[in-house]
Structure 1
Amino acid sequence: MVGVQRMWVVLFWTVLNFFFSGLVDGFVLGEQPLSKIAIHRITLGLSNSTSIRASPILLGSNGEDTEWVSVDLEHDNPSVGDWIGVFSPANFNSSTCLPESSESEDQAPYICSAPIKYKFVKDTNSGYTKTGKASLKFQIINQRADFSFVLFSGGLSKPKLVAVSNSVSFANPKAPLYPRLALGKAWNEMAVTWTSGYNIDEAVPFVEWGLKGGHQKRSPARTVGWRDPGFIHTSFLKDLWPNARYNYRMGHLLSNGSYVWSRSYSFRSSPFPGQDSLQRVIIFGDLGKAERDGSNEYSNYQPGSLNTTDQLIKDLPNFDIVFHIGDLPYSNGYLSQWDQFTSQVEPMASTVPYMVASGNHERDWPNSGSYYDGTDSGGECGVPAETTFYFPAKNRSKFWYSADYGMFHFCVADTENDWRKGTEQYRFLEHCLASVDRRKQPWLIFTGHRVLGYSSDFWYALEGSYAEPGGRESLQKLWQKYKVDIALFGHVHNYERTCPIYQNRCVNPEKSHYSGTVNGTIHIVVGGGGSHLSNFTDEVPSWSIYRDYDYGFVKMTAFNHSSLLFEYKKSRDGKVYDSFTISRDHRDVKGCAHDGCEPTTLAN
C-alpha cells in the first residue's frame, strides 16, 4: 500500500511540474479545457460588495451521489470575462505550491490546484453585464470532499479572484460509489471495482453478492490504488453460474462495527466459453467525458460524448459487454476528471462488464517507457487508468490481455507499448490468437487503440502509411495465420470499414455478407465515441467500403457458432448505418488462404 501511495505522490508532482512549466501561455495540452486556466497567474481582487452563495448546503441526504447546486451572485463590476470555478476541497490555498524559479513572477501563486469545472457567467445569464446579477446551476457528483464556488474576472488567461462562496458537501463524502464491472481472469469470475473515501485501515471493503433471490455471499476487496483524496477497491466474485442474474452491493465495515453500503446493483454473468446463446458486444473508442450542466465549454471539447453515453444507456437491455478501446476521459493530468468519467459511464459499467484498453491519452509521456514519446497523458503515465479500471492482464503496467465471452475470443493489444516482432507483447498476441479453439469460439477479435491495420484518415494518408507506421508490417501475418475475423481500432475519430484484406489488397469481393474460408481480416476504425471528429483523405482507397464522419459505436451479435451480425450505429439516433453478416462453420476456419494454411493451433 505504501508503494502505491508513493507512486501516486510522484505522479501528482509530475503533473504539477507540467502545469507550471508555462507552456503555450498556460494552455498546456491544447485539448483539456481545464488546461486553459492560468492557475499560476491568479491574483487577488476580493470585493466586499460582491457576494456569491451556493445552495443547498447539504447534498445527498437521501443517498444520492449526484446533485444540482444553485449559485447566485451579485457583482458590482461585471464583465464578459467573469467565470465561476468549482473547487474541491473547498478550502484551497497556496500551501502546496511548488517553489517558483528565479525567472518567475515576483508574486507566488495564490492557488495551485485547478477547479474541477468552470462556467462563464454570461453564457447562461444574458443580462449579467448590465445588472451584475446572475444565477447558475452546476451538477455536482460526490468526490469525497466539500465544494466551493469561486468568482473570477479577467477570463481564463489573467484570472482575478473576486469572491468565494460558502461550502457545500455530501452527507457521506466517503460513500462507496461508481462500480465498474470487468471480466476476471477466469470466465466464471467478475471483478467489481469502486471508489470510496475509506482507507483500508479505517474500514474493511467487501462486496455482498448472490444469485437474484438467493443467499448473499461476501467477498473481501483489496485496495489496489490510492488517489488523493480517495481509494480504489476491487473485489472478485468467483465460481459464477453462466448467464445467471446476480445482485450485488459494495460495503465497508467500520471499526465501530457499523456498515456503510452502496445502493444495490445487478449483472448477468458471462456465458461459458463456447456456450451457444445470444451474445451482444459493444465496441467504441475515444469517448471522453462531458458535463451535463454545460461546464468546461463541453461542446468545444468532447461534443459527442454524452450522445454516445446516453444512447448506450438507453439500449442497455440489448447488449451484454462493452469494450472501450482507449482514450477514456481525456483527463490529461486533471485527476478529478476520472471521478466524473466513472460517474458518467456508471449506468453501463455497473450493469455489464466494461472492458478498457490503453490509449495515448492514458499512457504517453516522454521517458516513461511508453512506445510513443508524446505528452498526451499529461504526466499520468497510465497510473490512473491502471487503477481506476480492472482488466485481466498478468502485469498491470502492461495493458494487453485476452478475454473470453461465450463464442467470442478477444485479444486486446496495448498500442502504447512496443508491439513489434520479437517483443514481449508480440509473443503474447501470437499466443492469444493461437490458443483459441475455433470449434468452441469461432469469433476471433483483435482490438487496440491506435490503428495498426487500415485507415484513410487524413494524417495517416499524408504520411503514406494509412495506419500507424509499422503496424501492418509487424502484425498482418499473425492476423492472416490465425484467421482473425475482425480487427477494431480507435484513435482516429470517425468510422471506417474495410473489405477482408491482406497485404493492402481485398481478398473477397463481397461487401455485406461473407461466408466460406476466412481469407482476410475485416478492419474497423470506431474512434468516434465522443472526441472531435477526424477528417478523411479526399481519395477513397480501394479497400475502404464504408466511411462515416460522425459519432457512433459498433455492435456485434453472435446468434450461434455459425452466424454473426456486425452493425455500426450512430450515437445521435441509435440507427444502423452500416452492417454485414458472416456465416460459416469451424471447417471454414481451417480452409487454406494465402499465408494462412497452418494445420493446427495450440488449442487443437
Structure 2
Amino acid sequence: MKIIFFIVVNFCSLVLLSQQHSLPSRLPIDRAVINIDNSSSVRASPDVLGKEKEHAGNVLVQFQRASGASDQDWIGVFSPPVFNSSVCVVKTRIPAWGPYICSAPIKFQYANQSQDYVSSGSGQLTFRLINQRANFSFGLFSGFAEQPVLIAVSNVVTFDDLKMPLYPRLAQGRAWNEMTVTWTSNYLPSEAAPFITWQVYDDKYSFVAHPATTLSVSRGDMCGAPASTIGWRDPGQIHTGIMTDLWPTTRYSFQVGHRLQDASFVMSPKMYFHSPPFPGQESLQRVVIFGDMGTVQRDGSRTYFDFEPGSLNTTDALNNEINDIDIVFHIGDISYATGYLSEWDQFTEQIENLSSKVPYMTVSGNHERDWPNTGSFYNSTDSGGECGVVSSTVFNMPVQNRDKFWYKTDYGLFRFCIADSEHDWRDGTEQYEFLENCFRSADRQKQPWLVFISHRVLGYSSCYAPENTTGEPFGRDSLEKLWQKHKVDLAFYGHIHNYERTYPLYNQVLASDEKDFYSGTFNGTIHVVAGGGGFWLSQFPESKPSWSLNQDCDFGYTKLTSFNRSSLLFEYKKSRDGEVYDQFWIHREYKDVLGCDSLNMFCPLVTSAENYPA
C-alpha cells in the first residue's frame, strides 16, 4: 500500500509540473491598443450561423500579415465587436495614449497554430462559436505578452436569431413535486412574455402552460474588476419557470418560449425529463456528485482562466452515462468565469445535454462568491468581482435567499443538506441553525440516506498539510457533533482538486476500520473529496493520515445508487473512461439509526423508572 501511495504522489507531481509548463501568458488586454495595418487582413466565413436554429457552428478564419509575422501574433474573438474606447469604464490610464480596447475577447488562438504562418505571413484557423446574443468579429493582434496591438479586423459574423431561448437548466424546486427550468434569451420582458409548457409524455390532455419570471444582471451589480471592467459582458435575460404538481417518476416533455407582442410565439425544441420520486419512494435512484469543473473550448481556443484541462473529459463521460443518472450536484467552482462573464454562456452550453434532461444542482464556491467587504466569509478576490450575483442568477436553486446559498432538497430515499461554505457556518449562526434543522427534520424511515454537501472541505482532506485534518478554520469544530448526532452517512466536498475517501470518522477517530462494506449500527460519517471535475489537480502530501482510506490524483466524479431503503452503493469513476476505481456499500436498516451510534456518543435519553405492568 505504501508503494502505491508514493506512485500516486509522484504522478500528481508530474501532472502539476506539466501543467505549469503549458500555462500560457495571461492575455494583457487592458494594455491593448489599436493600430490598424491596411496591408493585413482577416476574413471569416460563413457570415451567418444558425439558419436551422442551431445554437453553435464553425467559422473558418483566414488571415494575412504582409510583414513581421511572429509567434506572438494571435486571433481574438470579440462579441459585441466594439474595438474602441466607448465601452471603457475607466477613461484614463497609463499609458494615456490610445485608442485602446476595454473589453476582453471571448477566446483566442495563436496565429502560429496555423502551419507555416510565421514564415508565410498567412494562415487559417477554425473557431466554434455559440449563440451569445450579439455579433462577432475576429481581430488579428501582434504582441501577446507585453502590449497587444490590433492590426486587422474581420467582417461581422452573426447568428440568424440572436434572441432565441437557449441553454435550459433543470433544477429541483422547493417541493419534491416541482421542477424549475431556467434559460437564457435576449428578449426583454417588455418585448415578449416568457413561459413554460409541460405535459406527461404522449398525453396531450395533461398539457399545462405557466408564465415565467425574468432576472437580469447589470455592470453595476458587479463588485469589482474584471467583472465590472474588461470582463463585463451582458449575460442576457435569465428566465425561470416552475413546473408544479408533477406525478412522481413520470416522463414529461417540456418547452420554454416567449409570446411576442404580435401574439406570435418563439419556442425551444421539445425536451424530456423524469420527475423526481416522492420522499420515501423505493425505486432505483442515481446521484452524481463532483466539483470544480469549469469549461474548455472544443476548438482548442484559449480563455483567460484556462486552468481546467479535465473539464470536457468529465462532461463527455457524464453525457455517455446520462441514461443512468437521475440528478447531478456540481458542488462549487462551476464555470470558473472569475469575472469574465462570457464564460457563463460557454459553460451552460457545454452542460446543456445534462442540464436539459436531469436536475443540475449547484453549490456556491469561492470562485462564484468571494470578494472583499461583500459579506463573504473569506475576504478574497476569487470571484473576479462577481460576488455571487451571476452564479445565483444563471442557476436557480431552492434557496430562501440568493445571497445565502444554503438549501435542502429531497430526492426519494435521499435528504441532501447543502451548505454555503462562503458564509459563516459556526455554532450560533443562521446557517448552523439551518443545517441542524435540515438534519433533524429528515424522516429516516422515509429517507434513510442523509448527505451533507459543501464546496470547501469542512471535514477532512489530507491536502491541508501539515494539519492533515480540516480544510477551513473551525470547520469540524462546529459541524462534527451535528454529523455524529444526526447520523449523517456521507459528507462531500470540492475545492481540493483530487479524490479522497476517509474511513467512518468522528473527531479524527476511526469509528470503523471496514473498507468496502458498512452495515448495522451507524459508525461515523464517511468524508469524500470529489473536486476532480476538471481544474488542475492537487498534489497529495507525502504523509498519509491514518484516517485517509483511498486517494487518487486524477479527474473524476462520484456516484451514489440507492436500490432500496437499506442498500446504497458508492462509486468513484474516472473521467477518462467512466470506469469504477473505488467503491463501497452501505447496508443499514431503520432500526440501526434509532438508538446509539457505535461509539455511544449520542444516545437517546432513557428514563430510570422501571416499567411496571399496567
What secondary structure, in the 3-state scheme, does the structure 1 residue paired with 2:215 have? strand
C-alpha distance in 2, partners of 1:517/1:403? 25
In structure 2, the CA distance between the partners of 1:538 and 1:120, relative to structure 1 (3 Å rule), is same
C-alpha distance in 1, partners of 2:82/2:303? 25
Q: Deviations over 1:465-486 (max 9, x none)?
A: 4421211111000000000000
What secondary structure, in the 3-state scheme, does the structure 2 residue paired with 1:309 have? helix
What secondary structure, in the 3-state scheme, does the structure 2 residue paired with 1:462 have? coil
Q: Deviations over 1:124-168 (max 9, x none)?
A: x13110111111011100000000000000014310101000001
Deviation at 1:266, TM superposition (A): 0.6
Give the equivalent residue in structure 1 for 2:583.
Answer: 579
Alignment partner of 1:169 is 2:173: no
Matches within 5 A, 1:111-190: 111-123=101-113, 125-190=114-179
Give the equivalent residue in structure 2 for 1:533.
Answer: 537
Deviation at 1:264, TM superposition (A): 1.4
C-alpha distance in 2, partners of 1:56/1:300? 27
C-alpha distance in 2, partners of 1:504/1:440? 30
C-alpha distance in 2, partners of 1:489/1:229? 28
Deviation at 1:523, TM superposition (A): 0.2
C-alpha distance in 1, partners of 2:525/2:451? 10
C-alpha distance in 1, partners of 2:210/2:303? 42
What secondary structure, in the 3-state scheme, does the structure 2 residue paired with 1:327 have? coil
Q: Deviations over 1:549-578 (max 9, x none)?
A: 000000000000000000000000000000
Matched-pair contact (CA < 8 Å) for 2:34–2:99: no
Q: Deviations over 1:35-84 (max 9, x none)?
A: 92222211222111111101110100001001111101111121100101
Alignment partner of 1:219 is 2:210: yes
Letter matched to residue 40 of structure 1: D
Give the equivalent residue in structure 2 for 1:546.
Answer: 550
Alignment partner of 1:44 is 2:50: no
Give the equivalent residue in structure 2 for 1:421.
Answer: 427
What secondary structure, in the 3-state scheme, does the structure 1 residue paired with 2:87 have? coil
Give the equivalent residue in structure 2 for 1:9.
Answer: none
C-alpha distance in 1, partners of 2:605/2:117? 74
In structure 2, the CA distance between the partners of 1:559 and 1:143, relative to structure 1 (3 Å rule), is same
Letter matched to residue 60 of structure 1: G
Aligned residues: 567
Give the equivalent residue in structure 1 for 2:257.
Answer: 251
Q: Which runs of 5+ in 2 are unaligned?
A: 1-19, 219-233, 607-614
Deviation at 1:100, TM superposition (A): 4.6
C-alpha distance in 1, partners of 2:468/2:512? 24
Matched-pair contact (CA < 8 Å) for 1:519–1:596: no
What secondary structure, in the 3-state scheme, does the structure 1 residue paired with 2:86 have? coil
Matches within 5 A, 1:217-366: 217-226=208-217, 228=234, 230-296=236-302, 301-366=307-372
Q: Which runs of 5+ in 1 are unaligned?
A: 1-29
Q: Deviations over 1:200-259 (max 9, x none)?
A: 111000012111111221111000234525100000000000000110111101111111
Give the equivalent residue in structure 2 for 1:443.
Answer: 449
What secondary structure, in the 3-state scheme, does the structure 2 residue paired with 1:95 have? helix
In structure 2, the CA distance between the partners of 1:561 and 1:141, relative to structure 1 (3 Å rule), is same
Alignment partner of 1:193 is 2:182: yes
Matched-pair contact (CA < 8 Å) for 2:296–2:306: no
Letter matched to residue 263 of structure 2: G
Alignment partner of 1:99 is 2:90: yes
C-alpha distance in 1, partners of 2:99/2:151? 15
Deviation at 1:300, TM superposition (A): 5.5
Deviation at 1:464, TM superposition (A): 5.2
Matched-pair contact (CA < 8 Å) for 1:512–1:580: yes
C-alpha distance in 2, partners of 1:295/1:181? 28
C-alpha distance in 2, partners of 1:596/1:141? 55
Matches within 5 A, 1:427-466: 427-457=433-463, 460-463=464-467, 465-466=469-470
> Residue 110 of structure 1 is aligned with which of 100, 105, 108?
100
Letter matched to residue 139 of structure 1: R
Give the equivalent residue in structure 2 for 1:562.
Answer: 566
C-alpha distance in 2, partners of 1:584/1:107? 71
In structure 2, the CA distance between the partners of 1:598 and 1:169, relative to structure 1 (3 Å rule), is farther
Deviation at 1:90, TM superposition (A): 2.1
Matched-pair contact (CA < 8 Å) for 1:34–1:117: no
C-alpha distance in 1, partners of 2:434/2:99? 48
Give the equivalent residue in structure 1 for 2:487.
Answer: 483
C-alpha distance in 1, partners of 2:537/2:528? 16
Q: Name whichever of 289-298 and 60-69 sits farther off.
A: 289-298
Q: Deviations over 1:161-200 (max 9, x none)?
A: 0100000100001100000000000000000000000011
> Residue 387 of structure 2 is aligned with which of 357, 362, 381?
381
Matched-pair contact (CA < 8 Å) for 2:456–2:493: yes
Q: Deviations over 1:438-486 (max 9, x none)?
A: 00000000000000000011xx113554421211111000000000000
C-alpha distance in 2, partners of 1:397/1:185? 17
Letter matched to residue 429 of structure 1: L
Alignment partner of 1:209 is 2:215: no
What secondary structure, in the 3-state scheme, does the structure 1 residue paired with 2:361 have? strand
Q: Deviations over 1:274-325 (max 9, x none)?
A: 0000000000000111000011169961100000000000100001000000
Q: Note the aligned Cα RMSD (angstroms).
A: 1.8
Spell out structure 1 runs of 4+ moving beyond 4 A. 297-300
Letter matched to residue 595 of structure 2: G
In structure 2, the CA distance between the partners of 1:383 and 1:486, relative to structure 1 (3 Å rule), is same
Deviation at 1:107, TM superposition (A): 1.1
C-alpha distance in 1, partners of 2:133/2:197? 22
C-alpha distance in 1, partners of 2:86/2:215? 29
Letter matched to residue 173 of structure 1: L
What secondary structure, in the 3-state scheme, does the structure 1 residue paired with 2:353 have? helix
> Residue 61 of structure 1 is aligned with which of 35, 51, 56?
51
C-alpha distance in 1, partners of 2:360/2:437? 24
In structure 2, the CA distance between the partners of 1:482 and 1:598, relative to structure 1 (3 Å rule), is farther
C-alpha distance in 2, partners of 1:331/1:551? 20
C-alpha distance in 1, partners of 2:547/2:149? 55
In structure 2, the CA distance between the partners of 1:464 and 1:552, relative to structure 1 (3 Å rule), is closer
Deviation at 1:521, TM superposition (A): 0.2
Matched-pair contact (CA < 8 Å) for 1:283–1:554: yes
Letter matched to residue 111 of structure 1: I
Percent identity reads: 56
C-alpha distance in 2, partners of 1:383/1:35? 28
